[in-house]
Amino acid sequence: MDNKTHAIWLHRIIVASLLLAFSVILLGAYTRLSDAGLGCPDWPGCYGQLTAPTTSHEIQTANSAFPDMPVDSSKAKKEMTHRYFAESLGFLIVCLAAFTFVYRKKIQLPLWLPMLLVALVIAQGILGMWTVTLKLLPLVVMGHLIGGFCTLSLLWLCWLLLKFPTMPQYPLPRALSRLAFLCLGVLFFQIALGGWTSANYAALICPDFPLCQGKWLPDMSTRAFNVLGAIGIEEPLAFMDAVEKTTIHVSHRLGALFTFLLCGVLSFKLWQQGRKLPKQSRRLFIGCSHLLAGLLFIQIILGISNVVMHLPLHVAVTHNGIAVLLLLTLITINFILIKSRSARE
């Protein structure tokens, strides 16, 4: 194969991995939000089988093996579907790493990226196992969610490096790059906070908006962020009481407001900067500005809808999906700013 053929195949593997990673995140959210996280009480199989029990004989055998965890076929199917997609993603990432290693002298992709992805996939497998064996320990569930976002982010970075090896150079202000990087960090923290909210089932603790339980500032507790507190407890989800869950929920709301305002400033600054650039780059910068602003607006609407509509499944899953798109957008903006800045202004 010549260099062009190598690049084509590498691009195909990365795109397939991206689509699978996005699907795995949405399926994970769907599984968690539909309360199917323990649809299979064991790992890597399901009730000691390779597939979810569906026939009467399989269900009877499974119930005999796990008398304390009766089979719910619907939940078991959801859990196993998520696992199948995750395993397929892991296989593709291993293929990506092997392909990059074999043809490392002929393709423009740093070897450390796919190798890091392999390590991340292994860690995700371990966290997936612990999610089941530790009975949805919130720290593990949140870590598993963050790992999924990191996997997709690194795959997206691989795609960007292949798609845009070079970019036009401009004397962009360094402050813009710093703001973009800050926004990326804040958004990542907000995603982790959202994961902590979901892992502790705190999304419905405040059924009203903009108030919470009829108050602007309900009772709060710092114990809400004792991430190690539930370790070793027989029922880890019982560690947080109503006050701690309220604290988590309100913190996520405040984090959403701060993220919205900060990223809104970045969107405006990108639009301002884009107007000063040549036509081709102007479209890129202003397009990123509009995309970021649009996703922020949609995400805020979805977040409010989750509260006032009492967490409908399709809205909650979409909320996760838009978080993914926001993360990829900010990664892209940071990538563009780093590749385009030729000198300090």
DSSP-based three-state secondary structure for 212: strand
Q: How confident is the model at residue 306 (pLDDT cuts 50, 70, 90)?
A: very high
pLDDT per residue over 79-129, tens digit each? Answer: 999 999 999 999 999 999 999 999 888 888 899 999 999 999 999 999 999
Q: What is the DSSP string of 68-113?
A: TS---HHHHHHHHHHHHHHHHHHHHHHHHHHHHHHTTTTS-S-THH
pLDDT at 1 over 60: no
Q: What is the pLDDT of residue 299?
A: 97
Largest CA distance in the chain: 72
Q: Look up 244 and say whether it is catalytic.
A: no
- Among candidate residues 122, 119, 160, the one with its CA nearest the CA of residue 15: 160
The pLDDT value given to residue 341: 78
pLDDT of residue 318: 97
For residue 278, the model assigns a pLDDT of 87
73 or 106, which is more confident: 73
- pLDDT > 70 in the chain, percent: 98
DSSP assignment string, 30-49: HHHHTT-TTSSSSSSSBTTB
Q: Which of helix, strand or coil describes residue 215?
A: strand
Give the up-direction half-sphere exposure of residue 222: CA atoms within 13 A in the CB hemisphere.
Answer: 0
Model confidence band, residue 2 (pLDDT cutoffs 50, 70, 90): low
User: CA 8, 148, 123, 106: dihedral to nearest 10 degrees?
Assistant: 20
- First and final C-alpha spacing in the chain: 44
- What pLDDT is stored for residue 198 in this prediction? 93
Map tokens 């996005």 to a residue: 22
In the predicted model, is pLDDT for residue 248 greater than 80?
A: yes
Domains of the chain, residue spans: 1-165, 170-345
pLDDT, tens digit, for every residue of 96-110?
999 999 988 888 889
Q: Is the pLDDT of residue 345 over 50?
A: no
Q: Is the pLDDT of residue 279 over 50?
A: yes
Q: Provide the pLDDT for residue 7.
A: 81
pLDDT, tens digit (0-9, with 9 covering 90-100), for 16-66: 999 999 999 999 999 999 999 889 999 988 998 889 999 999 999 999 989
Retrieve residue 82's tokens. Answer: 């998520």
pLDDT of residue 105: 83
Residue 344, pLDDT above cutoff 60:
no
> What is the average pLDDT across 314-334?
97
Give the pLDDT confidence score for residue 106 in this predicted structure.
82
User: Comparing C-alpha atoms, which of 250, 204, 262 is closest to residue 225?
Assistant: 250
Model confidence at 205: pLDDT above 80: yes
Give the predicted TM-score (pTM) of the model.
0.94
Active-site residue, from 79, 234, 235, 244: 79
Q: Which two tokens stand for residue 290?
A: 């509009």
Residue 311: the pLDDT is 93
Tokens (6 digits) for 134: 């530790």
Q: pLDDT of 250-262, one tens digit each?
A: 999 999 999 999 9
In terms of Cα–Cα distance, which of 142, 184, 194, 144 is closest to 317? 194
Give the pLDDT of residue 5.
79
- In what helix (H) or strand (E) does residue 330 lie, and over which residues does it extend? helix 313-340
Tell me what pLDDT residue 3 has.
65
Average pLDDT, the chain: 92
- Judged against a pLDDT cut of 50, whether residue 343 lies above it is answered with no
